Chains A and B, each alone.
Chain A
Amino acid sequence: MVTEFSVSARPLVEVRDLRKRFGANEVLNGINLDIHAGEVVVIVGPSGSGKSTLLRCFNRLESIDGGDILFEGRSVSAYREHELRQRIGMVFQQFNLFPHLTALDNLTIAPRKIHKTARAICEERARELLARVGLAVKAGSYPNQLSGGQQQRVAIARALMMEPKMMLFDEVTSALDPELIGEVLAVMRQLADDGMTMVVVTHEMQFAREVGDRVVFMDGGQIIEQGAPGAVLLNPSEARTQQFLKRIKG
């Protein structure tokens, strides 16, 4: 029991002096960040500040140039790539569904082919997840028959199929028509309520305030300020945060 307690007390993710550059462009300049199990961390910051790159370092879609990221106490580079990615789900701005597969098959293809799980078992779970995101009736639809909001909810369900320990959301509502944003945020809110660990890059400040446990403000590849959403978003102590918030409200 004691060891179990100490394991769960340790952050799920520990980012230590993370550095990343593309050529001469230093994109992440020494990021330090802990994320605890069950926490919802919202990352905000201007375009080009390195938010996406940071997320993509978590599941090794980008390689790391310096420092380290520990996931469950183990360096992400020590994991086999696909094992790490099965533990960390990711949802993208552009949905990125597989256009040749139905919603149901979008959910089942990875577990069926990676783990050779029987189709019937996968489909049962997939139907549960589609119901959870409110799309039970769309199981047989192809992506081009779904609205953007529906596609994004399928994409969230698809990531959940792998039973990840943590979910990464990279501006998942930015490509949506305004009237479709709410349905996607509602699914994310539900997920947060169910205790999922989430790292969310978003410009939805209301969502950040209401759902986020912590807001992290990034600029120039560094964390400028972080803290409770109310503090960072309403009373930022750093000038750069103030400027940024004024700009996105303005």
Chain B
Amino acid sequence: MSDPSGYAFDAQAIWRHLPELAQGLLHTLGASVLGIMAAVLIGLVFGAARAYRVPVANQIGTAYVALFRGTPILVQIFFLYYALPDLGIRLEVSHVAVLALALWGGSYNTENFRAAFIAVPPGAMQAASALGMPGHLRFIWIALPLAVRVALPSLGNTSISVLKDSAYLSVIAYAELTYVATNIVAIEFRVFEMFAVLAATYLGMVLLLSWGLSRITAHLARRGTVGDL
């Protein structure tokens, strides 16, 4: 097929496989977007629980973070896919995909939010108390918006990692972009074409996400501060 003395880059190969690759990209995006959103939510809940030392939730959060930040995501994916059925929990591969990304990203976001809630200026919270705002209103209207601003850069980094690490989902045959592309390589040996597709697509998605985040950051920076207060 290919010339043994040199590799002939065949752009046609990409074109031929475009429908499968597009399908793979959709799966990558689906799992990543849902995973990122769930990870932010998990991080918010456990991050607040840890920062404010909410009994029980704080301890659960601590153990959760230790477990998921202390083990490789690959091991987590394998565990969720192969071990959960043995525990009587049967999930579709697409659900395992989202769950794995959410739990992994959520452990990092827990730390991101924990640090952010701790960085909320105590004076602002005290002023809200002195105005007679009860705890839940202080949390929603003062602590949360300030913490989000502080956490934004680190939430962005974690989200980018979640997006890139969705590639690991290929090990459980979740038909995302990397899985599709490596299958094509295995069958047709179009290593460079597929590598080019993967690199360009992931890079494009990461740049797009970074750009969106920088827009939000710039918008918020014009109103109060971001990153630190």
Count class of interface residues, chain B: 20 to 34
B127 to A, closest residue via Cβ: A96
User: Could you say which residues of chain A place their CB within 8 Å of the CB of B145?
Assistant: 100
Count class of interface residues, chain A: 20 to 34
The smallest C-beta distance from A13 to any residue of chain B, in angstroms, reads 16
Given contacts A61-B126, A92-B123, A144-B224, contact A98 B131 (CB under 8 A): no
- Checking A95, A101, A143, A158 against B131 with a beta-carbon cut-off of 8 angstroms, the contacting residue is A158
The smallest C-beta distance from B146 to any residue of chain A, in angstroms, reads 6
User: Could you say which residues of chain B place their CB within 8 Å of the CB of A99?
Assistant: 121, 124, 146, 224-225, 229
Asked whether any CB of chain A lies closer than 8 Å to the CB of B128, the reply is: yes
Asked whether any CB of chain B lies closer than 8 Å to the CB of A85, the reply is: yes
User: Could you say which residues of chain B place their CB within 8 Å of the CB of A114?
Assistant: 131-134, 137
Q: How many A-B residue pairs have CB under 8 A?
A: 81
User: Could you say which residues of chain B place their CB within 8 Å of the CB of A144?
Assistant: 224-225
The smallest C-beta distance from B117 to any residue of chain A, in angstroms, reads 14
> A74-114 toward B: CB 8 Å interface, digit per residue (1/0)?
00000001111110011010111111111000000110011
A111 to B, closest residue via Cβ: B131
Question: B137 near A113 (CB under 8 angstroms)?
Answer: yes
Chain B stretch 114-156: residues in CB contact (< 8 A) with chain A: 121, 123-124, 126-134, 137, 140-142, 145-146, 149
Given contacts A142-B224, A144-B224, contact A98 B130 (CB under 8 A): no
- Chosen A-B contacts, 29 in total, with CB atoms closer than 8 Å, are A61-B129, A61-B130, A82-B132, A83-B132, A84-B132, A85-B129, A85-B130, A86-B132, A89-B130, A90-B127, A92-B130, A94-B123, A95-B123, A96-B121, A98-B124, A98-B127, A99-B121, A99-B146, A99-B225, A100-B223, A100-B224, A114-B132, A114-B133, A114-B134, A114-B137, A142-B223, A142-B224, A144-B224, A159-B131
